[in-house]
Chains A and B, each alone.
Chain A
Amino acid sequence: MKPSRFPLVVTWAVLIFFYLPIVVLVVQSFNSARFGGGWESTSLKWYRQLLKEPSIWDALMNTLIIATTATAASMVLGTSAAFALHRYGKSLLQRLHFSLIYTPLVLPEILMGLSMLLFFVAINVELGLGTIFVAHVTFCLSYVAMTVLARLQDFDFSVIEAAQDLGAGWWTTLWKVLVPILAPGILAGGLLAFTLSIDDFVISFFVAGPGSTTLPIKIYSMIKYGSPPLINALSTLLLLVTFASVAASQHLARKGEPRRDPSRARITMAQP
């Protein structure tokens, strides 16, 4: 019997559906024509021009600052929240806690953004990087909490007692046992938070102030007032960075963590 072609066709259809727009974008970034359409000539014109746009680099800087700080904060808060939820999850307070943590995942972003804006205005806080940071932490921490919580499901809490039993105080237990065991969960949550923060548009748009433009907002305004080819070039660069980091993280994950331990070296030497 001939194998069905259906899976192959579907695979190609999906790939084209997903990646054709991106391919078009990448190709167009090398087109020197000002308004898309016809092909003029292949050039790096837009990339050169990109270097001369300080406002883009400012926006990128803002985005990275917020993404880094918001990710760090939400990793700490989210992990703590996950712990509280896991340990005392049956109490009424924690069930309420869970719903509140879960809500940002399903709440329309526009609602979050609007309510944040109204809140900041009500308490008279000046809009800027600070408000974007706070807004990003509020939704990032939910993602971290959910990821860590999933990891905690198969976490054996007796290792905490075991560490204390072996003489470790709270601080040592935290850094030598708890964090290393939960690191994959925390890092996965952090990575998710980081990517969400970098490309968040709606919420940032509401709570950003003058001089605190993030990259997505900048790109949006460039579409309206600037030049689309410049965006193509910028997006291509972003794409490159993204693929590189994904490849790097996969490489790291496959390799595992090579351990450097002198006593181990001794043992391997002892066995020819």
Chain B
Amino acid sequence: MSNFLHFENVSKHYGEVKAVDQVTLTVEQGEIFSLLGPSGCGKTTLLRILAGFEQPDSGRVILGGKDVTDLPPYERKVNTIFQSYALFPHLSVWDNIAFGLKVAKRPRKEINDAVEAILAMIQMEDHAWKKPDQISGGQKQRVAIARALVNKPQVLLLDEPLAALDLKLRQRMLIELDLIHDEVGITFLYVTHDQGEAMSLSDRIAVMRDGKIEQLGTPAEIYEAPRTSFVAAFIGDTNFFDGVVAEPLEKGVVLDGMLSAALDKDYSRLKVEDFPDVECYNDKQIRQGEKVFLSVRPEKFRISREKPEARPHLNIIQGMVEDVIYLGSQTKYWVRVADYQISVIRQHSRFLLDEEPIEWDEQVWLSWHADDGFMMEKYSEQDEALLPAPPDKVGDEVEPEVEAQ
């Protein structure tokens, strides 16, 4: 069914602040859809508008072909998992889960069966008569999920559901959420500021910023082809090159001056200030002299001591290693090239102790294929300030999840 859940030009203001600004968005039935963005981007407000806790200033919300914009929360067939779980402290696990069904005045037998079944699904049968303060955080999380799902909502809303859990538990709950989704097939609307969660769980992601949707797409699309520098930097780590098109290349040319035999117009050469020229694939129509903002992800680089053999469309530059972080499965390098510090990731596919790893202060060669960069819109300096600082991302990489997609 198309147009299962549809936000039509939805806006919400708090005084001067535009929390949600003219958002139009369609979510398909059965998918896990994530709203991803930094705090204050309007993602939670959008979720609360769907839940009915907030009234939009303008716009409509259509759910299952029905306009639900003016319905109170208790008349909407959606259920929410709150960040704090919001379990009823005075009720047992069993009664918490049964709450929605009891309010709906379902037959006693049906309530018993439904609650028992979902308790089995979340493997909490042995804790059915405990109060919320007698169970662990992960268990509370599962009870909150069960309490929502037992009502068979059309959409399950998840408001940063894993934020209160520690890293290990978060990873396990992610898998559990995915399994639960496979089992019940209900549409999930997942709100998070954690790109890792969104990438690994979602069918599609809407990256939000300042109340607007910055980009909408599958995790791989958003990671590999970010529309703006904001998206590129928010999802994973990247290197930006701010350049001007020197010439659309009639012939494939490698940058150390050697001529290649291939003939095509798909590539351009960029002049980057204080940096060697860069060849890149034309992701959009460009003219000579046009400004281009290029992003190259750290894992797209190859790092080596020996100079790689020149090939068509291969960028080869020399730099010096300034910092190394060994992360087990991969190593992160920061390589100084002129004024730029380039972040590079090397995946260890071979037994590392057999080789002599690249260390600090070594002269190295970086190479990457012109196809592996991506051109995008650049945001102003003020916007750059919003980008997460690189140290936050160490050890929090999303690349493996992308490959798993």
Are A and B co-members of a single complex? yes
Partner of B103, one of A158, A172, A180, A183: A172
B325 CB within 8 Å of chain A: no
B65 CB within 8 Å of chain A: no
CB contacts (< 8 Å) of A169 on chain B: these are 72, 74
A161 to B79, CA, bound (A): 10
A167 to B151, CA, bound (A): 9
B73 CB within 8 Å of chain A: yes
Report B26-78 residues with CB < 8 Å from chain A CB.
51-53, 72-75, 78
CB contacts (< 8 Å) of B100 on chain A: these are 166-167
What is the distance, in angstroms, from B115's C-beta to the closest C-beta of chain A?
Answer: 8
What is the distance, in angstroms, from B110's C-beta to the closest C-beta of chain A?
Answer: 12
What is the distance, in angstroms, from B12's C-beta to the closest C-beta of chain A?
Answer: 17
Instruction: Name the residue on A nearest B53 (C-beta).
Output: A161
A167 near B104 with CB under 8 A, answer yes
B304 CB within 8 Å of chain A: no
Instruction: Name the residue on B nearest A183 (C-beta).
Output: B90
CB contacts (< 8 Å) of A166 on chain B: these are 74, 79, 99-100, 103, 147-148, 151
B293 CB within 8 Å of chain A: no
A165 near B51 with CB under 8 A, answer yes
CB contacts (< 8 Å) of B148 on chain A: these are 165-166
CB contacts (< 8 Å) of A267 on chain B: these are 128-129
Partner of B80, one of A156, A161, A168, A183: A161
B94 CB within 8 Å of chain A: yes
A245 CB within 8 Å of chain B: no
A181 to B88, CA, bound (A): 8
A162 near B80 with CB under 8 A, answer yes
B88 near A161 with CB under 8 A, answer no
A181 near B74 with CB under 8 A, answer no
A159 to B140, CA, bound (A): 14
Partner of A181, one of B52, B75, B79, B90: B90
B88 near A162 with CB under 8 A, answer yes
A217 to B52, CA, bound (A): 56
Instruction: Name the residue on A nearest B83 (C-beta).
Output: A158
> Assuming A156-B86, A166-B79, is B151 touching A264 (CB within 8 A)?
no
> Assuming A167-B104, A168-B103, is B86 touching A162 (CB within 8 A)?
yes
B340 CB within 8 Å of chain A: no
A164 CB within 8 Å of chain B: yes
CB contacts (< 8 Å) of A161 on chain B: these are 51, 53, 73, 80, 82, 86
How many B residues are at the interface, by size bracket?
Answer: 20 to 34
CB contacts (< 8 Å) of B53 on chain A: these are 161, 164
CB contacts (< 8 Å) of B51 on chain A: these are 161, 165
Instruction: Name the residue on B nearest A173 (C-beta).
Output: B74
How many A residues are at the interface, by size bracket?
Answer: 20 to 34
A163 to B90, CA, bound (A): 13
B123 CB within 8 Å of chain A: no
Report B8-23 residues with CB < 8 Å from chain A CB.
none
A263 CB within 8 Å of chain B: yes
Report A74-130 residues with CB < 8 Å from chain B CB.
none
Partner of A159, one of B74, B83, B86: B86
Instruction: Name the residue on B nearest A154 (C-beta).
Output: B89
A163 near B80 with CB under 8 A, answer no
Chain A contact residues, majority secondary structure: helix
B73 near A165 with CB under 8 A, answer yes
A222 CB within 8 Å of chain B: no
A164 near B86 with CB under 8 A, answer no
A196 CB within 8 Å of chain B: no
What is the distance, in angstroms, from A152's C-beta to the closest C-beta of chain B?
Answer: 13
B84 CB within 8 Å of chain A: yes
A159 to B148, CA, bound (A): 13
CB contacts (< 8 Å) of A187 on chain B: these are none
A25 CB within 8 Å of chain B: no
What is the distance, in angstroms, from A261's C-beta to the closest C-beta of chain B?
Answer: 8
A162 to B83, CA, bound (A): 11
CB contacts (< 8 Å) of B74 on chain A: these are 164-169
A177 CB within 8 Å of chain B: yes
Q: Mark B86-123, 1 if CB is under 8 A from A, else 0.
A: 11111010110001100110000000100000000000
Instruction: Name the residue on B nearest A182 (C-beta).
Output: B90
B112 near A181 with CB under 8 A, answer no
A177 near B88 with CB under 8 A, answer yes
A177 to B73, CA, bound (A): 16
CB contacts (< 8 Å) of A261 on chain B: these are 94-95
What is the distance, in angstroms, from A266's C-beta to the closest C-beta of chain B?
Answer: 8
What is the distance, in angstroms, from B191's C-beta to the closest C-beta of chain A?
Answer: 14
Instruction: Name the residue on A nearest B77 (C-beta).
Output: A167
A183 to B91, CA, bound (A): 13
Q: Which of B73, B94, B129 has the most CB of A within 10 A?
A: B73
Q: What are 28 A-to-B residue pairs whose CB atoms are below 8 Å?
A: A156-B86, A158-B84, A159-B87, A159-B89, A161-B51, A161-B73, A162-B86, A162-B87, A164-B52, A165-B51, A165-B74, A165-B80, A166-B74, A166-B147, A166-B151, A167-B74, A168-B103, A169-B74, A172-B103, A176-B99, A176-B103, A177-B88, A180-B90, A181-B90, A259-B92, A263-B94, A267-B128, A267-B129
B contact residues vs A (CB 8 Å cutoff): 51-53, 72-75, 78-80, 82-84, 86-90, 92, 94-95, 99-100, 103-104, 112, 128-129, 147-148, 151
| 7 A-B pairs with the lowest CB-CB distances in the bound complex, closest first | A166-B100, A162-B86, A158-B86, A164-B73, A180-B90, A167-B103, A165-B80
A contact residues vs B (CB 8 Å cutoff): 156, 158-159, 161-169, 172, 176-177, 180-181, 183, 259, 261, 263-264, 267
20 additional contacts (CB under 8 A) given A164-B74, A166-B100, A267-B129: A158-B82, A161-B73, A161-B82, A162-B82, A162-B86, A164-B72, A165-B74, A166-B103, A166-B148, A166-B151, A169-B74, A176-B103, A180-B90, A181-B88, A181-B89, A181-B90, A259-B92, A261-B95, A263-B94, A267-B128
